[in-house]
Amino acid sequence: MAVRYAVNGLVHKVNPRLCGGQKKNLKGLKKENLRDNMTTLELVLNMLAEATTTQFSRDRKPTTFQENLAVAKAGGQVAGRTRKDIESQSDTPVITAKNAAQLNQVVTDLLDTLRANLDHCVGMAANMIGVRKNIIAVAAGPFQFAMINPVITKKLRPYQTEEGCLSLEGVRPCTRYEEIEVDYLDSNFRKQHGKYTGWTAQIIQHEVDHCNGIVI
């Protein structure tokens, strides 16, 4: 288990090395502001998440860090469910060709960085390299793959473990699941549904948490 903690923690070592200019180049953006590169639908969903989180915060009046995290996650889940409803009825991903080039660059850089550090790295989330997108990269044995907008739809057989991250000192207990199912878009923006178990499932859960602002 000590190796597992170290592996999870070392993944996050790449984040502090990027300065503002590098982040801009990584994103492939012509404009500095990420909002300027969002579609109208992405902006609306982002505003929905922010407005819902604000309302939940007013209602629940969180006082601790964990309570604030729960409020932020709940607000994001509202927007996430709305996105899924839109995509299920239109059969068209919210991600469009307009920002596909930007996202392809993020996917490429995530996978390149992961592959360059496979001796101590098993997964990455886009926000670890300064990109506010719900994209993760995962190493599963000899293979590495990306997930765009991953949503865990099913969890089976919970267990208790500990994980660490270089973003924080030490290790912390957490609940993981031996088997999960995930809806996501692949690197070609095609809808996928996958079932994952064991170590790969744990990596995905860890990185999805990271995208949601939960650092363990």
Q: What is the pLDDT of residue 150?
A: 93
Which residues have a catalytic role annotated? 207
Rounded-to-integer distance, Cα 119 and Cα 8, Å: 12
Please answer whether residues 196 and 182 qualify as being in contact, where contact means their C-beta atoms are separated by less than 8 angstroms: yes
**Which pair of structure tokens corresponds to residue 197?**
């178990």
pTM greater than 0.85: no
Q: Which CATH superfamily is domain 2-17+120-211 in?
A: Peptide deformylase (3.90.45.10)
> How many other CB atoms sit within 10 Å of the CB of residue 183?
17
Report helix angle 198-211 to 2-11, nearest 10: 40
State how far the Cα of 193 lies from the Cα of 33, in Å rounded to an integer: 32
Residue 167: is its pLDDT beyond 80? Answer: no
67-85 pLDDT, tens digit each: 776 777 787 788 888 888 8
The pLDDT value recorded for residue 9 is 32
**What whole-number percentage of the chain has pLDDT above 70?**
73
Give the pLDDT confidence score for residue 164 in this predicted structure. 67
